[in-house]
Structure 1
Amino acid sequence: MSPLSPAALADRQDVVDTVVRYGCALDAKDWAGARSCFADEIETDYADLRGTGPERVAAQAFVDLRRRALEGLKTHHMSTNHLVTLDGDRAICVSAMLIHRLDPRRESDNTFDTLAYYTHGLIRTTQGWRIARVQQRVAWNRGNPAVHPGARPARP
């Protein structure tokens, strides 16, 4: 593997920062900040968590869904093990994400945690790198799926 150029190193860091910034915005309930991480339209695949197929959606609609699902929860999205592949004005960032969710309105059975592997497809825009594709593959869930309105019920 040949060393990356300074420009490629900067791109790699910007790609990782965009993915991490999105998770931080969700935790801060900063919906405008979350929206700023995305291209105007995105492809999503959350089949493992939601039981739905891939879809193409406007970024604002995607963020609005996150807001409705997460606004009453305390969350922590921890993004690690970023592997970035650069290809001109496109990039792929594969990472692991540990998501903790706590519903403070519930007295018991109030957590739902997920370890998932994400593949984010990003494009370079005049405003910087933006996420254009999100694929989530769940390794495991733990806790009460009713805590997260976006999760399908546990299978028997």
Structure 2
Amino acid sequence: MKHATFALAILATSANAGQTGDPVTPDTVIDRLELIRIADAIDTAVDAKDWDAARAFFTKEITVDFTSLVGGAPATIPADGLITGWATNLAGEKESFHLRGNHQIAFETPDRAIMHSHGYAWNRMDSGALVDNGGNAMWEVWGTYMHGFERTENGWRVNAMTFSATAERGNTYVRDTPGG
């Protein structure tokens, strides 16, 4: 109990608390920690290519918007399809590293929340360094994420995800080519 009280005190006095999300309160602190854990755990699972672990954090269907990277239109798709797409693109030799911070959470209801965060992603693929493939093994992107969460019988799950790229650099061959 003493550790929970300490964690609550740290979070409640955080300089970021309430800037764009809802203020941290005793009633929401545990849920906030869980939402941040889930978003971070998705990144960790993706980088480890642990697709079953990544899939476990999503509802059956998810509304996704990655149009700032790949064009198209936002869509509601089966979460299995999202994971299959990630697994296909990040296969084999392709490595990834995702980092997130500045989590700002707003609760729409006690069982629905929106989290905004800053994100960075890096992909590396040796074949990208070949002259015919662009001559650079790396691609990286910065931007903002929006995760929609809903509380289910199995706990909090992500039901929506948007990435809005603000900058990118490197070889788009690495971004666009499955690792194989």
Question: Residue 154 of structure 1 corresponds to which residue in structure 2?
Answer: none
Q: Post-superposition shift, 1:106?
A: 3.6
One of 57, 60, 65 as aligned partner of 2:85: 65
Matches of 2:61 and 2:87 in 1, distance apart? 17
SS across alignment from 1:148: helix
- Give the letter aligned to residue 137 of structure 2: N
Bigger shift: residues 141-150 or 1-10: 1-10
Aligned partners of 1:123 and 1:132 also within 8 Å:
yes
Bigger radius of gyration: 2
Going by fraction, where is helix more abundant, 1 or 2? 2
- Percent identity reads 28
One of 105, 108, 111 as aligned partner of 1:89: 111
2:75 corresponds to 1:55 = yes
TM-score (norm 1): 0.90
Unaligned 5+ segments in structure 2 are: 1-17, 130-134
Question: Residue 105 of structure 1 corresponds to which residue in structure 2?
Answer: 127
SS across alignment from 1:6: coil
2:7 corresponds to 1:8 = no
Q: Post-superposition shift, 1:71?
A: 1.7
Aligned partners of 1:70 and 1:148 also within 8 Å:
no
- Over 3 Å counting, the alpha-carbon distance change for 1:85 and 1:74 in structure 2 is same
Aligned partners of 1:40 and 1:58 also within 8 Å:
yes
2:153 corresponds to 1:126 = yes
Would you identify which runs of 4 or more consecutive aligned residues in structure 1 move more than 2 Å?
1-7, 104-108
- Give the letter aligned to residue 103 of structure 2: H
One of 133, 143, 149 as aligned partner of 2:170: 143
Q: Post-superposition shift, 1:3?
A: 6.1
Going by fraction, where is strand more abundant, 1 or 2? 1
- Give the letter aligned to residue 77 of structure 2: V
Matches of 1:33 and 1:52 in 2, distance apart? 27
- Give the letter aligned to residue 8 of structure 1: T
SS across alignment from 1:105: helix
Aligned partners of 1:74 and 1:104 also within 8 Å:
no
Unaligned 5+ segments in structure 1 are: 151-156
